[in-house]
Amino acid sequence: MKETQILILDFGSQYTQLLARRTREQEVFAEVVNLNITYDKIKKDYKNLKGIILSGGPSSAYDQNAYSVDPKIFELDIPILGVCYGMQLMTTIFGGEVELAANQEFGKSKIYFDVDNCPLFKNITNGTQVWMSHADHVTKLPADFVLTAHSDSSVAVIWNNKMNLYGIQFHAEVTHSVDGLQMIKNFLFDICKCDPNWKIANFVRDTMEQIKLTVGNKNVILGLSGGVDSSVVAALISKAIGQQLTCIFVDTGLLRKNEAKNVMDAYNDNFNINIKLIDAANIFFEKLKNVTDPEEKRKIIGAEFINIFNQEAKKIKNVTFLAQGTIYPDVIESSSINHSSKTIKSHHNVGGLPEEMELTLLEPIRLLFKDEVRKVGMELGLPERLVMRHPFPGPGLGIRVIGEVTEEKCNILKDADAIFIEEMYKNNLYDATSQAFVTLLPVKTVGVMGDNRTYEFVAALRCVETIDFMTATESHLPWDFLSDVANRIINEVDGINRVVYDITSKPPGTIEWE
């Protein structure tokens, strides 16, 4: 992108994305790129580049096949910061040595300055706490590099003043590094002289211009799911090209209570947008009859979604573009050297379009992180409730009604879930947690109501806190709140007479039950 001032070369660290986020939080646009990027490509595509960061990674710089970089990038004449593996790689490239450490250093550590004029250390006190995570360490510095700081057991910072190269053994991007953010700011502003010019409003303006140019007088289709990403893409494209965009919104019957109506209202109130709402609930319930296996359900729902989307897409004339709500973590994941073949969520990623349609992908938010996508949504005037929503799985209630999915069970679950979420908002808990929902269990238990014996389903409340949804912990919701929710559900929802709260963390559990 023309705004890119910092390139982060990805060696596969779990923290690479964090480096980009920390940089963008300073209003400096950073892009994560594959480590194979060449000097020539950088020269050609990144005219405003001010600095490069070499990320951490799991390999060893002394291995024969160690991941490396185009050595010419050191001739770009811009500052380069190596983080963990990035520092070790720089060390070996310039003739120093890296070895497996006798004592591996994991966790909190203190660093002590060996020189006092390093610009990385501006406004940072000697002895500051950092986060270490390394098995290898630098044992011999390359020529022209000085030992700039050390920890109790390793070389912590190295510096080549002449070439403007810096290496840090620890992870400044992790919040456990107390002055890590200050160090990143020092690198961006004092060393690279970056300009804090990455503003969401400019992004929206420029992206709309770009969409107009790309699309011309052709038409665009988009599958709307009601989730944040596709909603923001719909808003962005519709503001740019109005009625040339057609959104297809398939109501699978597996959405939250009143979801279809709420989404339609949100758009009709705020945008001049063309949405085709397809009521396909009966088809989905029919296909899901007698199916109990979660993966089987996912496959059926995904395939049917694509089927219906395709039928509708073919009816629209002059379509050249398929818009998608791909976001940056998906892009980084698929270009990373550690790319694993994760299960594709086929219903999101409308991958099965007929080839004869020859559609070109339009992915206007592919370089944004989720929090930036939300900001774009707010900037465009989407309702806050829609933009700040918890994630909702593509197969929807299909995987929250455990066992066979029926319309009746979905309706029971929708009512229970709506009460839980309403109470979460009322008690200011919704925005403080990452994901909350109800799951309907295929178990009936005995209860009493008044003088009558009841025999009804059990509902499980789930609420978790997480940063990346890869790991999660159960939220410690107040007991009184949980009791109130349980009472409301049992009193107001026909079909549920018992409520439990799920206190399983991930791992070993998953967030969803199926």
Single out the residue of 165, 117, 120, 124 nearest to residue 141, CA to CA. 165
- The dihedral over CA atoms of 327, 330, 335, 337, expressed in degrees to the nearest 10, equals 140
Tokens (6 digits) for 481:
């709140």
Could you say whether residue 348 binds ligand XMP (CB under 6 A)? yes
C-beta of 56 vs 227, nearer to ligand XMP: 227
Q: Which of residues 275-314 bind ligand XMP (CB under 6 A)?
A: 298
Q: Which of 3, 105, 134, 171 is catalytic?
A: 171
In the block, residue with structure tokens 């596709």: 230
Between 189 and 469, CB nearer to ligand XMP? 469
List the catalytic residue out of 3, 31, 105, 173: 173
226 in contact with ligand XMP (CB under 6 A):
no
Give the pair of three-digit tokens for residue 493.
Answer: 């929802």
Q: Confirm whether 84 is a catalytic residue.
A: yes
Q: How far is the CB of 449 from ligand XMP (least distance, A)?
A: 32
395-434: which residues touch ligand XMP (CB under 6 A)? Answer: 395
Query: How many angstroms separate the Cα of 200 from the Cα of each of 24, 29, 142, 197, 228?
Result: 11, 11, 42, 10, 16
- Contact status, residue 471 vs residue 511, Cβ threshold 8 Å: no
- Distance from CA of residue 181 to its chain's centroid? 21
Q: 128 or 225, CB closer to ligand XMP?
A: 225
Q: How far apart are the first and last CA of the chain?
A: 39
Burial of 199 (0-12, 13-18, 19+ CB in 10 A): middle
H or E stretch covering 303: helix 294-314
Least gap, CB of 348 to ligand XMP (angstroms): 5
CB of 45 to ligand XMP, least distance (A): 32
Q: Is 370 in the site for ligand XMP (CB under 6 A)?
A: no
Nearest approach, Cβ of residue 357 and ligand XMP (Å)? 24
Q: Which stretch binds ligand XMP (CB under 6 A): 183-191, 274-282, 324-332, 387-395?
A: 387-395
Cβ of residue 345: shortest distance to ligand XMP, in angstroms? 4
Q: What number of other Cβ atoms are within 10 A of residue 284's Cβ?
A: 24
**What's the CA gap between 479 and 262, in Å, rounded?**
31
CB 95 within 8 A of CB 133: no
- Residue 435 binds to ligand XMP (criterion: CB under 6 A): yes
The CA distance from 341 to 333, in Å, is: 10
Query: Based on CB atoms, which residue is closest to ligand XMP, 226 or 393?
Result: 393
Stretch that binds ligand XMP, among 251-259, 333-341, 361-369, 390-398 (CB under 6 A): 390-398
Shorter beta-carbon distance to ligand XMP: residue 364 or 395: 395
Smallest gap from Cβ 417 to ligand XMP, in A, equals: 13
Q: Does 511 bind ligand XMP (CB under 6 A)?
A: yes
| Cis geometry, peptide bond prior to residue 508 (ω within 30 degrees of 0) | yes
Q: Tokens 């009601």 sit at which residue?
A: 226
Q: 321 phi and psi, to 5 degrees?
A: -120, 140
Residue 182 or 505: the one with the smaller Cβ distance to ligand XMP is: 505
- Nearest-10 Cα torsion for 295, 299, 305, 310: 160
Number of residues in contact with ligand XMP under rule CB under 6 A: 13
With respect to ligand XMP, which residue has the nearer C-beta, 199 or 506?
Answer: 506
Nearest distance from residue 514's CB to ligand XMP, in Å?
8
Residue 56 or 395 having the CB closest to ligand XMP: 395
CB of 81 to ligand XMP, least distance (A): 33
Amino acid at 131: W
Helix, strand, coil share of the chain (percent; to 5): 35, 25, 40
Nearest to ligand XMP of 383, 391 (CB atom): 391
Three-state DSSP state, 125: coil
Task: Give me the 15-44 binding string for ligand XMP, x by CB under 6 A, dash otherwise.
Answer: ------------------------------
CA–CA–CA angle 137, 141, 147 (5° rounding): 90
Instruction: Considering the complex, state which of residue 427 and residue 505 has its C-beta at the smaller distance from ligand XMP.
Output: 505
Given the residues 31, 84, 410, 514, the one annotated as active site: 84
Which residues from 99-128 bind ligand XMP, rule CB under 6 A? Answer: none
3-state secondary structure of 107: strand
> How far is C-alpha 317 from the chain's CA centre?
34
Q: For the window 454-493, what string marks contact with ligand XMP as x by the rule CB under 6 A?
A: ---------------x------------------------
Contacts of 337 (CB under 8 A, 6+ apart): 10, 11, 12, 34, 35, 57, 67
DSSP 8-state symbol, 400: T
Quick one: which segment of 61-69, 314-322, 377-385, 504-512 binds ligand XMP (CB under 6 A)?
Answer: 504-512
Distance of closest approach, residue 434 Cβ to ligand XMP, in angstroms: 8
Region label for 382, one of left (φ > 0), alpha (ψ between -120 and 50) or beta (otherwise): beta
Residue 439 binds ligand XMP, judged by CB under 6 A: no
Question: Does 390 qualify as catalytic in the annotation?
Answer: no
Member of 287, 314, 345, 488 binding ligand XMP (CB under 6 A): 345
Report DSSP letters for 434-459, one per residue. Answer: SEEEEEEEEEEEEEEETTEEEEEEEE
Distance CA 492, CA 495 (A): 9
Taking the complex as a whole, how short is the minimal distance between the CB of residue 403 and ligand XMP, in angstroms? 17
Active site residue 194: no
Stretch that binds ligand XMP, among 250-258, 273-281, 325-333, 386-394 (CB under 6 A): 386-394
Residues with a catalytic annotation lie at 84, 171, 173
Sites of contact with ligand XMP (CB under 6 A): 298, 345, 348, 391, 393-395, 435, 469, 506, 510-512
